[in-house]
């Protein structure tokens, strides 16, 4: 079957893509041909794997194929050819069968941005393209400087501008916006940052307008608030309404309220990771009777570097509460024997249920069906679970069914098999795996409760942290229907199991199981991932659908060590902040002595309110509220169609440090 494939205008050979696979320690590298074709509906970019090219060439060179004419379409140092009639058989015949990397194809006009990286270890340049729908194209790797040929060919159809916030990000520009930016720049209406302002105007007309016309805003406040705190002709509520239509009606006549300017967090420290704890180091901390010494020091080392694979099966039993650090070797042997008996007794309970009993036991029957379905698709590409009649798959099934008997209130919920899989891989023992799995669910069983209150509370806590540490990103997500952070749901539910590769997830989990350096460190992992993607989300103006797509495409492509360094840096940054809100302190277990003047002050990062930690779960999107520090009251009336409180945008200059204060005791 032939098709018209348009006119090829650019071809570049030996362009590699890097594909991350969950169960492999290193990425798969595939080489292929990158091309640009002009189609009737617009130009497209296509990357074709070398295997498919070779397969087509074998097919075309067979005696049955017609004589073909070739045309030289060389660019630079790359010698390339194309078939003049641009036709080939779609399926490629039997010689093209078998698993091959897929052809990558996308329309040039669907491009939203690209990110540029230099890879020193293999002397390559990497380009990662993002589409308008939030999709991320597998990264193309070029020899140095040769990427410029491809970008030059793309610029025939679209233009890019370098992000002002991220030097590695280049965003597709709208010619009409560029022209307007140039006009404003020539008129010098907005000083040095006119280009930024116009871009912000198209993204957020309200904030940009206030920022650009700060003198007008100053005049407004000079007129309405000549004494700084006493309105003339308008109430404070009316002033707020002029500034933001959706601001809620705050009870300003209650004593104890004060709104102050944006908090400046301390600079984020740079963090370095350490080497993993070795077997020799672990054994050196065991006394003659088998007790573990220097537990706090060991945990700190595990947090900073993880464990070597040879001791994971030993150390995980302690981290997950199967063994006590204070137990002797003899005590652990007796304990293990008892737990093994307990496990097989519970296993016998469900194994001995007759078909007649099961027919009258709908709850067990439903859970059994769900376990069967999940086990059949859990990590089946991993060598440990691969193939038919795999005994490890049977163990996975038996452990999950036994857990239903151990904790029938919770039972089995979809996703639990993802948590058990790495544990079984490490322990390679059914009873040991069960009790370590039970210990893990003691930690995070709340994630699987039917009312989802635990998940909702974690998402609220994450929002509170994000709103304090990065109000700009929090406000962006909220204004783009993503303030509920539901795109983080999978991260939290199964502890990033489907975000990092298999060998990385084991390293991450043992770090988290140390419970260092604070409570809820996994929420800071979420923040670190979002911190890395912030500019991509905001510069591309991704909405709800695009954010979900982008987050999904990140799976197995997140750098774990970089993420851990960033998360620890965020912790250190917050722990050094002297104006840490009580809700943030409670979530992270950080206790900061606040200055006396803060007792009756509401600190609003980014001049926006943070949601209270006491907000009842399940009430829909998180509603940021303003608290009364003095009276313990809060306005709980959310604005119609909005879930944010914004007095002034961060972009508003107002003589560089404008403070809006309402002294209700005057």
Q: Given CA atoms 620, 621, 626, 630 in this order, what sign does their dihedral have?
A: positive
DSSP annotation string for 338-366: HHHHHHHHHHHHHHT--HHHHHT-HHHHH
Q: Which residues contact 658 (CB under 8 A, 6 or more apart)?
A: 261, 648, 652
Give the pLDDT of residue 86: 36
Determine which of 41-50, 510-519, 620-629 has the lowest per-residue pLDDT on average: 620-629
Give the pLDDT of residue 60: 55
Phi, psi (degrees; rounded to nearest 5) at 650: -60, -25
Give the pLDDT of residue 594: 53
Give the pLDDT of residue 10: 92
**Residue 662: closest CA among 248, 214, 225, 264:** 225
**Residue 350: closest CA among 418, 419, 308, 398:** 398
**Is the pLDDT at 261 greater than 50, yes or no?**
no
User: What average pLDDT is seen over the chain?
Assistant: 77
**Is the pLDDT at 288 greater than 60, yes or no?**
yes
- The string of pLDDT tens digits covering residues 65-79 is 444 443 333 333 333
- With a pLDDT cut of 70, the percent of the chain lying above it is 67
Instruction: Work out the pLDDT band at 21, boundaries 50, 70, 90.
Output: confident
Give the pLDDT of residue 51: 75
**Is the pLDDT at 122 greater than 50, yes or no?**
yes
Instruction: Work out the pLDDT band at 177, boundaries 50, 70, 90.
Output: low
CA-CA distance, 238 to 330, in Å (whole number)?
A: 74
Intra-chain end-to-end CA distance of the chain, in Å: 84
Orientation angle between helical segments 391-406 and 362-375, nearest 10 degrees: 150
- The string of pLDDT tens digits covering residues 567-590 is 999 999 999 999 999 999 999 999
**Residue 519: closest CA among 444, 588, 447, 443:** 588
Determine which of 39-43, 182-186, 510-514, 530-534 has the lowest per-residue pLDDT on average: 182-186
SS3 191: helix
Query: Average pLDDT in the 80-87 region?
Result: 34
Residue 616 near residue 602, CB atoms below 8 Å: no
**Is the pLDDT at 305 greater than 50, yes or no?**
yes
Instruction: Work out the pLDDT band at 255, boundaries 50, 70, 90.
Output: very low
SS3 395: helix
CA-CA distance, 375 to 46, in Å (whole number)?
A: 37
**Is the pLDDT at 634 greater than 60, yes or no?**
no
CA-CA distance, 459 to 622, in Å (whole number)?
A: 9
Give the pLDDT of residue 164: 87
Give the pLDDT of residue 74: 35
- The string of pLDDT tens digits covering residues 352-373 is 999 999 999 999 999 999 999 9
SS3 111: strand
Cα separations (Å) of 432 from 105, 314, 317, 397?
A: 47, 10, 8, 15
Instruction: Work out the pLDDT band at 536, boundaries 50, 70, 90.
Output: very high
Residue 134 near residue 549, CB atoms below 8 Å: yes
Q: Which residues contact 378 (CB under 8 A, 6 or more apart)?
A: 385, 396, 417, 418, 421
Is the preceding omega at residue 517 within 30 degrees of 0, hence cis? yes
Give the pLDDT of residue 176: 55
Residue 108 near residue 157, CB atoms below 8 Å: yes
Query: Average pLDDT in the 396-410 region?
Result: 97
Cα separations (Å) of 532 from 169, 238, 461?
A: 12, 39, 20
């Amino acid at each position: 079957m032939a098709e018209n494939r348009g006119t090829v205008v650019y071809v570049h050979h030996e362009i590699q893509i890097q594909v991350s696979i969950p169960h492999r320690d290193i990425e798969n590298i595939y080489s292929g041909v990158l091309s640009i074709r002009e189609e009737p509906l617009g130009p497209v970019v296509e990357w074709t794997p070398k295997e498919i090219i070779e397969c087509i060439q074998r097919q075309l060179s067979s005696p049955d194929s017609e004589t073909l004419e070739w045309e030289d379409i060389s660019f630079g140092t790359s010698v390339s050819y194309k078939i003049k009639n641009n036709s080939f058989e779609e399926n490629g015949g039997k010689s093209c069968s078998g698993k091959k990397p897929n052809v990558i194809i996308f329309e040039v006009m669907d491009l939203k941005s690209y990110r540029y990286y230099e890879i020193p270890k293999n002397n390559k340049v990497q380009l990662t393209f993002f589409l308008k729908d939030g999709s991320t194209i597998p990264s193309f790797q070029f020899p140095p400087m040769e990427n410029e040929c491809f970008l030059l060919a793309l610029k025939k159809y679209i233009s890019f501008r370098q992000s002002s916030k991220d030097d590695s990000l280049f965003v597709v520009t709208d010619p009409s916006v560029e022209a307007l930016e140039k006009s404003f720049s020539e008129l010098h209406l907005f000083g040095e940052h006119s280009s930024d302002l116009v871009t912000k105007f198209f993204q957020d007309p309200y904030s940009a307008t206030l920022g650009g016309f700060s003198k007008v805003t100053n005049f407004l406040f000079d007129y309405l608030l000549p004494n700084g705190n006493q309105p003339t002709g308008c109430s404070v509520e009316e002033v707020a309404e002029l500034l933001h239509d959706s601001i809620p009606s705050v009870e300003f006549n209650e004593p104890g309220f004060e709104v102050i300017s944006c908090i400046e967090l301390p600079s984020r420290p740079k963090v370095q990771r350490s080497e993993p704890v070795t077997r020799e180091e672990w054994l050196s901390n065991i006394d003659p009777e088998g007790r573990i010494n220097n537990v706090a020091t060991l945990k700190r080392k595990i947090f900073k570097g993880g464990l070597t694979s040879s001791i994971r099966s030993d150390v995980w039993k302690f981290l997950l509460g199967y063994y006590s650090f204070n137990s002797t070797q003899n005590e652990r042997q007796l304990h293990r024997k008892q737990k093994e008996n307990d496990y097989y007794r519970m296993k016998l309970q469900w194994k001995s249920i007759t078909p007649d009993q099961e027919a009258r036991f709908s709850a067990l029957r439903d859970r059994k069906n769900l376990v069967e379905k999940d086990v059949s698709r859990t990590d089946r590409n991993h060598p440990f679970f691969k193939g038919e009649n795999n005994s490890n798959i049977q163990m996975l099934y038996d452990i999950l069914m036994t857990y239903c008997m151990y904790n029938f209130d919770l039972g089995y919920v979809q996703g639990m098999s993802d948590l058990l899989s790495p544990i079984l891989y490490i322990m390679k023992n059914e009873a040991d795996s069960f009790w370590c799995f039970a210990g893990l669910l003691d930690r995070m069983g709340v994630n699987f409760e039917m009312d989802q209150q635990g998940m909702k509370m974690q998402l609220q806590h994450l929002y509170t942290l994000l709103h304090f540490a990065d109000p700009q990103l929090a406000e962006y997500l909220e204004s783009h229907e993503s303030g509920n952070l539901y795109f983080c749901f999978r991260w939290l539910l199964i502890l990033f199991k489907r975000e990092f590769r298999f060998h990385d997830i084991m390293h991450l989990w043992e770090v988290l199981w140390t419970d260092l350096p604070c409570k809820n460190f996994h929420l800071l992992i979420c923040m670190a991932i979002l911190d890395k993607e912030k500019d991509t989300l905001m510069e591309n103006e991704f909405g709800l659908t695009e954010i979900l797509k982008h987050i999904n495409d990140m799976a197995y492509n997140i750098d774990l060590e970089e993420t851990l360094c960033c998360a620890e840096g965020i912790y250190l940054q917050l722990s050094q902040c002297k104006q840490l809100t009580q809700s943030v302190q409670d979530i992270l277990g950080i206790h900061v002595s606040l200055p006396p003047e803060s007792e009756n002050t509401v600190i609003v990062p980014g001049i926006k309110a943070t949601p209270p930690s006491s907000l009842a779960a399940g009430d829909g999107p998180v509603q940021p509220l303003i608290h009364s520090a003095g009276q313990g009251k809060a306005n709980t009336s959310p604005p119609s169609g909005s879930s944010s409180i914004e007095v002034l945008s961060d972009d508003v200059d107002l003589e560089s440090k404008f403070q809006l204060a309402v002294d209700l005791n005057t």
